[in-house]
Structure formats: C-alpha cells, structure tokens
C-alpha cells in the first residue's frame, strides 16, 4: 500500500495586474453605470479588506456577516468558488473574493469572514480578509479609478480621510466567474 | 389586531380562491354540456352553489366588491336557465369568474378594486336587461357545495397552485402530528432524566436498556412525524392539470377549432413544490403542441382525423418517480424541418439518429414554427423548459410519429426534497450517493481487482464492472493508488454499471436534498448537497454522470508519474 500523498495544488499563482486592468476597462466600458444608482442619493456601503485594500459594496446587497466554518469542496467547481457553506440549513457557494477581484488567493485567518450577499434572489458567501466598517457615500464622493488601480470590476474609488476605498458591488464581484461559468477544461459529451 | 385581520384575510383567500377555481372548472363543463345539448341544471346549480359560498365568505370579510360580482354572476346563472343567449352568458360567467379570482387574490394585498367590480356588475346587468328575462326561477338548494353536484371533482384540499406555500391540513392529521410531537417531548424528558443521573455518576444497571427503549421510540416517532409531514406536502396533480381546461378552451377559441383536454392519473400525488413549478413548463409544451402540432380543421379532415383535436395530460407513478406525458394527436415532429434548421445553424445532421434529431428541439434557439403566430415564437424555447425540469431533478424527452402526434415525457421525482443515500468517504472528504443507484457495497481486495491495460475492473457477482478511484474521480487531495481503497461501491445508472473505490461508507440514510447555486452548474458529477449532523455540508453525486465517467476512466499511464502530477485521465 502506498501512502505518499499527491502534492496539493495551491490555488493562487501570482497574477500580473496589467492584463486584469485591461480586462476591467473593457468590462467597465461594456457596463455603463446603473442609472438607478446615480440618482444622487446617499448610500451606505459595507467595507472589507482584501490584502491592504479596502473595498466597499452597497449595504443593501449585504445580508449578514458570519465567521468561516467548514467549507465543503465541490468537485469541478469553477476557480472562484471555494466550495459550499451551510448557513442555517441553506447551502451557499463560498466565493473566493480575492480571486474574483484579481488578487492572489490566501488561506483564511482568524479575522477572515463570510460576507453574505444577495444578488437577483441568489445568495452568496463572499470570503473576505476582514470586515471593516459602514460608510455613507453620495455618488459625488465616488471618483473614477486611478490609472494604477488594480481591482477588477470596480465602479470607482472614494476617499475617507487618509484612506481610499474601492467601490464596487456584489454583481460586479461575481460577474467574471458567474457570467461565463467556464469550469476547468475537459472534454464535453457530444 | 392588524395581525389578526391579515390572518383572517389569508384564511379567506386560502378558502375562497379554490372555490373560484372550482367554479371555473364547472363552467367549462357547463359550456360543454350546453354545446352538446345535455341537462345542464345540476352543473348550473353547482356553479350557483360555489358563487353563493364566495358571496357569503366575502360578505363576512366586508369585501363588498367581491360580494357584488358574485351576486351579479348568480343573477346571470338564474336568468340563463331554460333560455337562450347561452353563449353570451357563458362569456360573462367566464370573465366574471376570472375577475372573482383576481379580486380574491387582490384581497391578500388589501387592494380590492371596487371600480373593476362595479364595471363588471354594470355590464352583467345591462346584458341581462337586454335579454329581459320574463321569469326568474329560484333555486332552493343554493348552499350545496359545488363539488357534490359536479360529481367528479373533490373539494380542493390543498391550494398549491399559486405557489404561495400554504397547505390545508385535515384536523385529524394535525391531531396525529401533535400526538407524535407529544411523544417526542416525553421521550426527550425521559432521556434528560437518565442523562442527569449519569452526569451525577448515579448509573443504574437498567439504564442501558431504558435508553435503548427511549431511542427506539424516539426514532419511530420522528420517522412517523416526517412521514406524515411529507404527506402534507403531496397534492393530487389534478390541481395542476385542471388549470389547462380553461387555458385550452381559450387557445382553441383563438384558433376557431375544437380541442379536447383529456386527463389521466389526476389523482397521482406529487410534491406541491414540483406542482407549483411545473405550470409554466407545461403551459409552454401545451402551447407548443397546439401551435406546431395540431393541424387546422380542414387539414385534419383531409387526413382522415377527427375534426376535434385532443391533448392528453397524464401522470403515472413509475419506480418511485412520476412520469408526466403531454400528448397531442397532431402532425408530429417534422424531422426534415428540424434537420434543415440544424443545418442552417451549421450543424451536421447526417449521422444523427431519428431520436437525436427529435431531441434537438430542446437546444436553445430552436423553433421550427413556419409562421410566428401568437402561440409560438415568443422567444422562450423548449431549452428553458428542459432546464426547469432538470432543476427539479428530472428529465424531458420527446417522441413523435409523423402525422400521428407528439408526446412529451417528463420524468420527475415525486418529492424534491428527501432522498435515501449512502454516505461514503474518500480521503478526508464525504459524499452521498443516492441509494436508488447503489447496487451493492463490498470490500475491494486485490484479488477482486484486475487491470487490463489501463482499464481497472472489479469482479462483482461473476461480472466485471469498470472501477475508478473515487478520490481521483472527484479530485480529492490525498493518497491514491487505485486499489488502495478498502471498499467498492457498485453503482448502476440505466443499463450501465460502475464501481467507486472508497475509504469508508456508512449505512443508507435519509437526507434532505438542497439544490446548488447555478454557479456550480458546471459540476456535472454533483447533483446537489445535503446537510448532515453537525451542520456538515456533503455533496450528492449525480450517479448518471459518475457512472458514465467511470466507464471512460483510465488508470494513469504509469502510476508513479501520475501520482506526482495529480493528473486526471477521467473525462
């Protein structure tokens, strides 16, 4: 009996930001700002950290914040889905938010949380490094992304004192993976 | 106070909406009898009975507009007896009945539109004055429930049609459930007592036997409870099928053609969750059958078919699943048109069998309607139907004979949520295999295994079954020499078998099936997930796919290299 283990394939390899930026630009060009959102009203955003970047999404899309329990791997899940989690009997996909936004994946830490969001009636658990705060922003507070920005599918950036917050929403975070659902390549049934 | 009132309104809607639907069904029969020239009195009486009940219920709730419409409809019924103008009356009754239903449902939102009601009442009055009934016949037995007179339709016990998720339970069933709950609580109390003694270190010799007994009892009561609750979720599929009576009548009128609806197996009990989600797909299939299948009258006559077309809706239980058929006696599938369409889309159809050609209609962007009519060509394809059916854990197929008709067959589970499954583990991961696919479990000793080239076989009851290491197939991280696993699970899907080599398995147990999000739709080997004890989520295998892949899986070229690369030779 052999007991030598296969090498574990660590998920994230370092990604170059350049192609991502091009990708993000193309994406933004193809998705004009939501007119309903530009209505000039102050909105609240929940912010969280990925590595050193603070990212905000509308509070209206957030359901709750929970500690990370067991994540069950699902065979052949797309790259950005870590697996599924049990939220009071509901089974939700656990989204590797880092991967969705073009960061390297990282193992969860004690401060990592699941930010449960709801998009078009579907609920997802976004894995984030830590949840930060709630911000009130008017559309005018959100500026275009600077040239050196490295976050895919951002709407813009907001400034709060010394910190810069990247503003996006759950749809945009989920879009690259969920829209084009291309799992690992394999031959398909004819 | 407000809460009380809204719960009363809910009760009113739950009780009254089915009656309105019931009346709608009776009207269809009434119209048929009028056309055929039979005795319509019992039906008319039943309709009036239903209307009267609606009137009474809404008066009690102070919903005057509904009351007025019901009253006006009663008048229409009263005046039509023994006189002409039936067609006009029928139309009024149909419209009024629709309006009643809409108003009743609007009551839930607290927005019953009095103007709509008044407009209708006014029209009904105008038409009855125009007809100027010389005498009115009073019907004495107004309060008889509609179903009795109709003779065939039982009172609707469950209203699943709106998908609002309310079920009506007989008092007796509630009592049974309460009793079982009581027994469970008593069992828990007893267990707590024993536990208390144990915690204090006061163990009694009889405690083991006592706990044995308590656990057995608890197991029985909880099982029974679940069984009874499950029955509450079931409803006769007739509640779904009957809605097509009216739908077809209107479709047929639009086409100026008679179409008869035949229903078979209407009392087949199916999960309400399935029933509520099947309406849209069936509407699509039926509409399709009428638009593409059923020929115009002259064409039918020319082909020697009866002028009156038929649509059959049937349900039958088969091997723990329900098969629903939608059949029409129209012109059947036009294979040549399908092939032409496929060719136009750049598909090579030369080597496709007849069955494969037929199944092409479930692909997106496929519509062979010659003309885009009101019926067809609405942009929703059969591919959407197929995906809804799949979402319910079912499949859809079509068979047609040119010139004789088309049959759509939907194969669905009776209930969406509960399944028996075998739980097994490989490496550090746990999976569930639906028990219906599990033929056998066995120890996989080396003498049972045989590799021919890169094909791994396990001998099972004198047969050879293709085998694959479950860890490798499912991409688990861990050790993997193909025959290092101590157990094999033999699966059968259709006429194919396959064996999964696993580390451990536990007995078959009932699991609650939870669907997976669409973002995981690409995981073809996984059909859903379940939550086991301690909240652990466990993927459920799609055994059809797993068996298919097992039968094309090959051993790694040279095992040692493959191990290092963790490569996958499974498809």
B10/B86 same-domain check: yes
Local structure of B426: helix, strand or coil:
strand
Residue B136: which CATH number? 1.20.120.160
pLDDT at B563 over 90: no
pLDDT-based confidence at B547, cuts 50/70/90? Answer: very high
How far does the CA of residue A160 sit from the closest CA of chain B (Å)? 35
d(Cα A21, Cα B9) in Å, to the nearest integer?
56
Same domain, B269 and B404: yes
pLDDT band at B529 (very low <50, low <70, confident <90, very high): very high
One domain, residues B126 and B184 = no
Region of poorest pLDDT, from A24-38, B211-225, B556-570: A24-38
Give dist(CA B155, CA A85) in Å, integer: 43
Residues 87-106 of A with CB under 8 A from B: 89-93
Between CA B568 and CA A6 the distance in angstroms is 12
The domains of chain A are located at 17-180
**CA nearest A185 in B: which residue?**
B571
8 Å CB contact of B475 and A76: yes
For the stretch B91-112, pLDDT in tens is 888 888 888 888 888 888 777 7
A122 three-class SS:
strand
Residues B386 and B248 placed together within one structural domain of the fold: yes
Distances in Å between the Cα of B274 and the Cα atoms of B157, B239, B390, B393, B436 are 17, 12, 12, 10, 20
Distance from CA of B476 to the nearest CA of A (A): 8
Question: Structurally, what CATH architecture does the domain formed by A17-180 represent?
Answer: Beta Barrel (2.40)
A183 has a pLDDT exceeding 50: no
Whether residue A151 contacts residue A102, with contact meaning beta carbons closer than 8 Å, is answered with yes
Question: Which one is predicted more confidently, B511 or B177?
Answer: B177
- pLDDT band for position B483 (cuts 50, 70, 90): low
Q: What residue spans of B142-271 are helical by DSSP H? A: 146-150, 171-199, 207-233, 238-241, 243-255
Q: Give CA–CA dist B307/B433, Å, rounded.
A: 51
Q: Which of A58-72, B100-114, B125-139, B439-453 has the lowest average pLDDT?
A: B125-139
Alpha-carbon gap, residue B363 to B288, rounded angstroms = 15
Residue numbers in B near A2 (CB within 8 A): 479, 481, 484, 563
Mean pLDDT, rounded, of chain B:
79
Is there a single domain that holds both residue B97 and residue B176? no
Tell me: do B29 and B69 sit in the same domain.
yes
pLDDT value at position B564? 38
pLDDT value at position A62? 92
Q: Who among A5, A73, A81 is closest to B479 (CB)? A: A5
Of B382, B413, B444, the last residue of a domain is B413
More confident residue, B157 or B514: B514
Q: Is A74 on the interface with B (CB under 8 A)?
A: yes
Residues B383 and B262 in one domain: yes
Interface-testing mutation among A70, A84, A100, with chain B (most B C-beta atoms within 10 A): A84
Alpha-carbon distance B243 to B24, whole Å? 9
Q: Choose the weakest-confidence range: B188-202, B343-357, B398-412, B487-501.
A: B343-357
CB contact under 8 A, A122 and B518: yes
Q: How far apart are CA B297 and CA B18, in angstroms?
A: 35
- Best-predicted range by mean pLDDT (A136-150, B243-257, B283-297, B456-470): B456-470
User: What rounded mean pLDDT belongs to chain A?
Assistant: 74
H or E stretch covering B322: strand B321-328
- Tell me if A83 sits within 8 A of A70, measured CB to CB: no
Kindly report the nearest CA distance between residue B376 and chain A, in angstroms.
Answer: 28
The Cα B339–Cα B335 span in angstroms is: 6
CA distance A21 to chain B (A): 24
Highest mean pLDDT pick, A115-119, B410-414, B560-564: A115-119
Q: How many CB atoms lie within 10 A of CB B196?
A: 10
pLDDT of residue B164: 47
Minimum CA–CA partner of A70 in chain B? B536
Query: What is the spatial distance between Cα A182 and Cα A38, in angstroms, rounded to a whole number?
Result: 32
Domain that holds residue B498: 418-565
Let me know: does A65 contact A127? Beta carbons within 8 Å. no
Question: What is the DSSP pairing of strand B259-264 with strand B309-318?
Answer: parallel
**Contact check, Cβ <8 Å, A77/B481:** no
Q: List pLDDT tens digits, range B392-417.
A: 667 788 887 777 888 999 988 777 66
Contact of A6 with B477, CB cutoff 8 Å: yes
Q: What whole-number distance in Å separates Cα of residue B329 and Cα of residue B51? A: 36
Q: Tell me the chain B residues in contact with residue A93 when contact means C-beta distances shorter than 8 Å.
A: 516-517, 519-520
Residue B143: how many other CB atoms lie within 10 Å = 10
Q: How far apart are CA B487 and CA B467, in angstroms?
A: 11
Task: Say how far apart CA A139 and CA B257 lie, in whole Å.
Answer: 59
* CATH number of the CATH domain containing B552: 2.40.50.180
Do A179 and A102 meet the contact criterion of CB atoms below 8 Å apart? no
Is the CB of residue B397 less than 8 Å from the CB of residue B408? yes
> How close are the terminal C-alpha atoms of chain A, in Å?
38
Q: Indicate if B291 and B422 belong to the same structural domain.
A: no
C-beta atoms of B563 and A178 within 8 A: no
How close does chain B come to A189, measured CA to CA in Å?
9
Asked if B306 and B286 sit in the same domain, the reply is yes
By C-alpha distance, the chain B residue nearest A124 is B517
Of A2, A174, A181, nearest to B521 by CB-CB distance is: A181
> What is the per-residue burial (b if ≥16 Cβ within 10 Å, else e) of A143-155?
eebeeebbbbbbb
B508-B494-B490-B438 Cα dihedral, nearest 10 degrees? 0
pLDDT band at A151 (very low <50, low <70, confident <90, very high): low
Residue among B342, B396, B397, B398 at smallest CA distance from B367: B342
From the list A73, A84, A89, the residue facing B516 with the nearest CB is A84
Q: What is the CA radius of gyration of chain B?
A: 30
**Which of B473, B531, B564 shows the shortest C-beta gap to A86?**
B531
Note the pLDDT tens digit of each residue in B26-74. 888 888 888 877 788 888 888 888 898 888 888 878 888 898 898 888 8
Q: Which of A76, A123, A124 is facing B522, going by the closest CB pair? A: A76
Q: Are residues B557 and B443 in the same domain?
A: yes
Better-scored residue on pLDDT, B232 or A73? A73
Answer whether A181 touches B (CB < 8 Å). Answer: yes
**Residue of A29, A30, A25 whose CA lies nearest to A147:** A25
Terminal C-alpha separation, chain B: 62
Report the gap between the CA of B566 and the closest CA in chain A (Å).
6
Among B529, B566, B571, select the one facing A9 at the smallest CB separation. Answer: B566
Residue B161's pLDDT is what? Answer: 40
| Residue of B490, B493, B501 whose CA lies nearest to B441 | B490
B343 to chain A nearest CA, in Å? 17
Q: Is A180 on the interface with B (CB under 8 A)?
A: no
DSSP string, B334-373: -HHHHHHHHHHTT---TT--HHHHHHGGGSTT----SS--
Q: What confidence tier does B432 reach under pLDDT thresholds 50, 70, 90?
A: very high
Q: Are B484 and A2 in contact (CB under 8 A)?
A: yes
Handedness of CA B228, B234, B238, B243 (dihedral sign): positive
Distance from CA of A10 to the nearest CA of B (A): 11
Could you write out the DSSP letters of every residue in B434-491? EGGGEEEEEE--GGGEEEETTEEEEEETTEEEEEEEHHHHTT--SB--GGG-SEEEEE
Q: What is the DSSP string of B74-113?
A: HHHHHHHTTSS-HHHHHHHHHHHHHHHHHHHHHHHHT---
pLDDT bin (cut points 50, 70, 90) of residue B315 is very high
A78 contacts on B by Cβ (under 8 Å):
519-520, 522
- Is the pLDDT at A32 greater than 60? The verdict is no
pTM of the model: 0.46
| CA triple B526-A82-A67, angle to 5 deg | 120
DSSP state of A38: G
pLDDT in tens, A46-103: 999 999 999 999 999 998 898 898 999 999 999 999 999 988 767 899 999 999 888 8
Task: Among B413, B428, B462, give the residue marking a domain's end.
Answer: B413
Count chain A–chain B contacts defined by CB atoms under 8 A.
106
When scoring A4, A85, A91, A116 by the number of chain B Cβ atoms within 10 A, the one with the most, hence best to mutate, is: A91
Q: Does residue B425 share a domain with residue B403?
A: no
**Does A14 have pLDDT greater than 50?**
no
CA angle (B353, B359, B362) in 5-degree steps: 155
A1 and B481 in contact by Cβ < 8 A?
yes
Domain end position, chosen among B355, B383, B413: B413
CA dihedral (B170, B174, B180, B183) in degrees, to 10, reads -140
Render A161-172 in DSSP notation, one character per residue: TTEEEEE--HHH
Is the predicted pLDDT of residue B349 greater than 70, yes or no? yes
Residue B166 domain-assigned (yes or no): no
Where is average pLDDT lowest: A174-178, B430-434, B521-525, B535-539? Answer: A174-178
Overall average pLDDT of the B199-209 stretch: 84
**pLDDT above 60 for B369:** no
Pairing of strands A53-58, A163-167: parallel
What's the pLDDT tens digit per position in B484-527? 789 999 998 877 899 999 999 998 887 778 888 888 988 999 98
Task: Identify the pLDDT of residue B367.
Answer: 57
How many CA atoms, within 13 angstroms, populate the side-chain half-sphere of residue B419?
28
Q: How many helices (H) and strands (E) does chain B have?
A: 18, 18
Let me know how long chain B is.
571
Higher-pLDDT residue of B447 and B328 is B328
- Best probe of the A interface among B349, B473, B537, by most A CBs < 10 A, is B537
Looking at residue A11, its pLDDT comes to 33
Contact between A74 and B535 using a beta-carbon 8 Å cutoff = no
Q: Compute the nearest-CA separation of A139 from chain B (Å).
A: 31
- B90 pLDDT more than 90: no
| A77: nearest CB among B477, B481, B523 | B523
Return d(Cα B428, Cα B506) in angstroms, integer: 15
Q: For A163-174, how does the pLDDT look when each residue is reduced to its tens digit (9 = 90+)?
A: 889 999 999 898
Alpha carbon of B85 to those of A125, B25, B28, B131, B133: distances in Å? 63, 21, 17, 8, 11
B439: number of Cβ within 10 Å: 15
Question: In this predicted structure, what is the pLDDT of residue B558?
Answer: 59
Please state the domain count of chain B: 4
Q: Please tell me the predicted confidence (pLDDT) of residue A185.
A: 34
Query: Which of A6, A74, A187 is nearest residue B539 as measured by Cβ atoms?
Result: A74
Phi, psi of A86 (to 5 degrees): -100, 115
Q: Measured between CB atoms, does A46 come within 8 Å of chain B?
A: no
Q: Work out the angle between the directed axes of helices A170-180 and A17-30 (0-180°, nearest 10).
A: 100
**pLDDT at position A6:** 36
Asked if residue B499 and residue B353 are part of one domain, the reply reads no
Provide, as residue numbers in chain B, all residues whose Cβ is less than 8 Å from the Cβ of A180. none
Q: What is the dihedral of CA A123, A151, A68, A87, to 10 degrees?
A: 0
């Amino acid at each position: 009996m052999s007991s030598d283990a296969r090498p574990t394939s660590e998920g994230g390899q370092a990604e170059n930001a350049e192609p991502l930026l091009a990708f993000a630009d193309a994406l933004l060009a193809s998705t004009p700002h939501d007119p309903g959102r530009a209505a000039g009203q102050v909105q609240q955003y929940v912010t969280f950290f990925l590595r050193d970047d603070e990212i905000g999404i509308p509070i209206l899309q957030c359901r709750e914040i929970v500690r990370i329990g067991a994540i069950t791997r699902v065979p052949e899940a797309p790259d950005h889905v870590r697996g599924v989690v049990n939220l009071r009997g509901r089974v939700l996909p656990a989204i590797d938010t880092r991967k969705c936004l073009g960061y390297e994946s990282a193992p969860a830490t004690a401060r990592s949380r699941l930010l449960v969001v709801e998009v078009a009636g579907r609920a997802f658990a976004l894995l984030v490094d830590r949840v930060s705060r709630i911000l009130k922003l008017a559309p005018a507070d959100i500026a275009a992304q600077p040239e050196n920005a490295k976050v895919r599918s951002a709407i813009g950036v907001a400034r709060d004192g010394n910190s810069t917050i990247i503003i996006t929403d759950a749809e945009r975070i989920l879009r690259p993976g969920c829209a084009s659902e291309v799992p690992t390549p394999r031959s398909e049934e004819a | 106070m407000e809460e009380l009132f809204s719960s009363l309104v809910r009760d009113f809607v739950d009780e009254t909406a089915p009656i309105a639907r019931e009346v709608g069904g009776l009207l269809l029969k009434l119209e048929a009898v009028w056309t055929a020239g039979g005795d319509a009195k019992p039906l008319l009486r039943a309709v009036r009975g239903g209307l009267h009940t609606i009137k009474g219920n809404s008066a009690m709730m102070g919903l005057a507009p509904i009351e007025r419409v019901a009253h006006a409809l009663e008048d229409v019924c009263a005046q039509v007896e023994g006189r002409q103008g039936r067609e006009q009356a029928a139309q009024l009754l149909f419209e009024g009945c629709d309006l009643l239903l809409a108003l009743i449902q609007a009551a839930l939102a607290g927005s019953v539109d009095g103007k709509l009601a008044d407009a209708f009442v006014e029209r009904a009055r105008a038409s009855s004055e125009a007809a100027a009934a010389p005498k009115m016949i009073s019907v004495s037995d107004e309060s008889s429930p509609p179903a009795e007179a109709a003779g065939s339709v039982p009172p609707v016990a469950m209203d699943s049609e709106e998908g609002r998720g309310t079920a009506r339970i007989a008092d007796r069933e509630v009592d049974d459930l309460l009793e079982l709950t009581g027994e469970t609580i008593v069992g828990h109390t007893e267990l707590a007592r024993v536990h208390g003694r144990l915690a204090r270190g006061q163990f009694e010799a009889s405690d083991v036997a006592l706990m044995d007994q308590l656990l057995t009892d608890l197991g029985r009561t909880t099982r029974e409870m679940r069984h009874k609750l499950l029955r509450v979720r079931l409803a006769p599929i007739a509640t779904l099928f009957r809605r097509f009576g009216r739908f077809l009548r209107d479709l047929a009128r639009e086409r100026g053609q008679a179409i008869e609806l035949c229903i078979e197996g209407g009392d087949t009990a199916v999960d309400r969750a399935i029933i509520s989600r099947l309406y849209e797909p069936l509407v699509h299939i039926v509409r399709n059958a009428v638009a593409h299948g059923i020929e115009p009258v002259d064409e039918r006559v020319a082909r020697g078919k009866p002028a009156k077309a038929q649509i059959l809706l049937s349900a039958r239980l088969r091997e723990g699943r329900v098969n629903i058929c939608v059949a029409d006696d129209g012109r059947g599938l036009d294979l040549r048109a399908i092939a032409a369409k496929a060719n136009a889309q750049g598909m090579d159809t030369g080597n496709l069998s007849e069955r494969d050609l037929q199944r092409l209609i479930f692909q997106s962007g496929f519509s062979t309607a010659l003309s885009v009519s009101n019926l067809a060509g609405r942009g929703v394809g059969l591919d959407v139907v197929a995906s809804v059916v799949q979402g319910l854990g079912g499949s859809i197929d079509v068979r047609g004979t040119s010139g004789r008709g088309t049959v759509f067959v939907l194969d669905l589970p009776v209930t969406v949520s509960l399944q028996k499954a075998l739980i097994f583990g490989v490496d550090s991961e746990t999976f569930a295999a639906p028990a219906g696919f599990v033929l056998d479990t066995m120890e996989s000793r080396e003498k049972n295994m045989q590799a021919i080239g890169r094909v791994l076989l396990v001998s099972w009851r004198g047969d050879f079954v293709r085998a694959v290491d479950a860890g490798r197939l499912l991409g688990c991280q861990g050790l993997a020499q193909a025959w290092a696993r101590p157990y094999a699970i033999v699966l059968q899907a259709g006429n194919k078998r396959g064996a999964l080599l696993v580390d451990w398995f536990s007995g078959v147990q009932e699991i609650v099936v939870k669907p997976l999000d669409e973002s995981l739709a690409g995981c073809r080997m996984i059909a859903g997930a379940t939550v086991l004890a301690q909240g652990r989520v466990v993927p459920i295998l799609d055994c059809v796919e797993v068996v298919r892949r097992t039968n094309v899986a090959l051993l790694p070229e040279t095992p040692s290299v493959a191990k290092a690369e963790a490569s996958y030779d499974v498809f």
